[in-house]
Amino acid sequence: MRGFIAVDGGFEALVEPEEARVLTSLAAQLQSLLGEAADDEALSEEDAAVARLLPDAYRDDEDAAAEWRRLSRRALAERKAGFAARFAAALAEATAASETTRILIDEAGGLDWVRAIGDLRLVLAERMGLHDEGDEPSEEDEGAAELYHWLAWMQDDLVGVLDAGWGE
Amino acid sequence: MPALPTVPLVDESTRESTREAVGVRELHASEVPWITIVWNDPVNLMSYVAWVFRRHFGMDAATAQRRMMQVHTEGRAVVAEGNREAMERHVEAMHEYGLWATLERSPR
């Protein structure tokens, strides 16, 4: 993958088919998790990744936290599923391609991407048991760790171009 | 960040006459300031968190960097102050960005 550069109409990257397939698969898993979580509040207690994707808004006030969950949790899950869906949609062509594909996203698309990528990293971190500052992935999580670091690179890269575009 | 309301919280022990004299009025519950707190997590990139602060709160680069470092080193930072509804909107926006944020009453 070649990182994003600002072009007319947005930001452009070059993605390999295999990379696009991996990202699309991750996005589909994220959408499915969020879809389940939207309908099932108890999933936040069973799955720390869900609790991290859809955190409580109140820390020391359980009544207010419960009210917040009742009013806002589902919509937040749906918006996040939307970020992941649009992220995957932008990759659809590259996923089906047999050669390096040019991807063009606008600023709104860029926001979908950084958010979806961030959510994927939150889930991967939970799955690898990274809870505290300085926790490192174990050796058997090598594959996930590689994805986790690749996504970090991608998010950082995108923040850089969005930032540059923002001031224009 | 939004400034604090200029009206002080009422001390119940204050005599009515004094209060009238200095023009103090009781705050409605909706005016009691709340704060939005962003908590540290080991996942979100420092560059991303600072960018979110600039983008969402309109902080200048130096302020965003300082707040981000405060989250990172102290475990939390207050990023906004105001009425409850506004803080709920900020918290929701932070959650959309994947940051861990909560709101609570401003300590006084």
Give A110's contacts in chain B (Cβ within 8 Å). Answer: none
Total Cβ atoms within 10 A of residue B49: 27
Which residues fall within 8 angstroms of residue B29, CB to CB, at 6 or more apart? Answer: none
Please give the class, per CATH, of domain B16-105: alpha beta
Q: What is the pLDDT of residues A36-75, one digit of tens each?
A: 999 999 999 999 999 999 999 999 999 999 999 999 999 9
Which strands make up the sheet holding B100-105, listed edge to edge? B76-82, B34-39, B100-105
Residues A20 and A94 sit within 8 Å (Cβ to Cβ): yes
Give A161's contacts in chain B (Cβ within 8 Å). Answer: none
What residues does each domain of chain B span?
Answer: 16-105
Which residues fall within 8 angstroms of residue B11, CB to CB, at 6 or more apart? Answer: none
pLDDT of residue A58: 98
Range in A23-27, A81-85, A127-131 with the lowest mean pLDDT: A127-131
Question: Rounded to a whole number, what is the distance in Å from the CA of A90 to chain B's nearest CA?
Answer: 19
A155·B48 Cβ contact <8 A: yes
Q: For residue B64, what are the CA distances in angstroms to A38, A156, B58, B67, B89?
A: 32, 16, 9, 5, 19
Give A160's contacts in chain B (Cβ within 8 Å). Answer: 47
Question: Rounded to a whole number, what is the distance in Å from the CA of A159 to chain B's nearest CA?
Answer: 7
Q: How confident is the model at residue A165 (pLDDT cuts 50, 70, 90)?
A: low
In this predicted structure, the answer to whether residue B12 has a pLDDT above a threshold of 70 is: no
CA distance B103 to B88: 7
Question: Rounded to a whole number, what is the distance in Å from the CA of B21 to chain A's nearest CA?
Answer: 37
Smallest CA–CA distance from A65 into chain B, residue: B102
Task: Give phi and psi for A6, each to the nearest 5.
Answer: -75, 130
pLDDT of residue B3: 37
Strands (E), B1-108: 34-39, 76-82, 100-105
In this predicted structure, the answer to whether residue A163 has a pLDDT above a threshold of 80 is: yes
| Dihedral, CA of residue A51, residue A57, residue A62 and residue A66, to nearest 10 | -80
Direct distance between the N- and C-terminal alpha carbons of chain B, in angstroms, rounded to an integer: 18
Residues A160 and A129 sit within 8 Å (Cβ to Cβ): no
What's the rounded mean pLDDT across residues B74-97? 97
Question: Rounded to a whole number, what is the distance in Å from the CA of A98 to chain B's nearest CA?
Answer: 32
* Chains A–B, number of C-beta pairs less than 8 Å apart: 75
Copy the structure tokens of residue A14: 């070059």
Select from A55, A76, A114 the Cβ nearest to the Cβ of B48: A114
Range in A42-56, A118-132, A153-167, B88-102 with the lowest mean pLDDT: A153-167
B92·A54 Cβ contact <8 A: no
In this predicted structure, the answer to whether residue A133 has a pLDDT above a threshold of 50 is: yes
CA distance B2 to A69: 27
- What is the complex's ipTM, to 2 decimals? 0.94
Select from B37, B42, B98 the Cβ nearest to the Cβ of A135: B42
Q: How confident is the model at residue B13 (pLDDT cuts 50, 70, 90)?
A: very low
Select from B41, B45, B104 the Cβ nearest to the Cβ of A59: B104
Give B42's contacts in chain A (Cβ within 8 Å). Answer: 125, 130-135
Q: What crossing angle do the helices spanning A142-166 and A107-127 adopt, rounded to 10°?
A: 150
Q: What is the pLDDT of residues B14-71, one digit of tens each?
A: 444 444 555 566 666 656 799 999 999 999 999 999 999 999 999 999 999 999 999 9
CA distance B13 to B8: 14
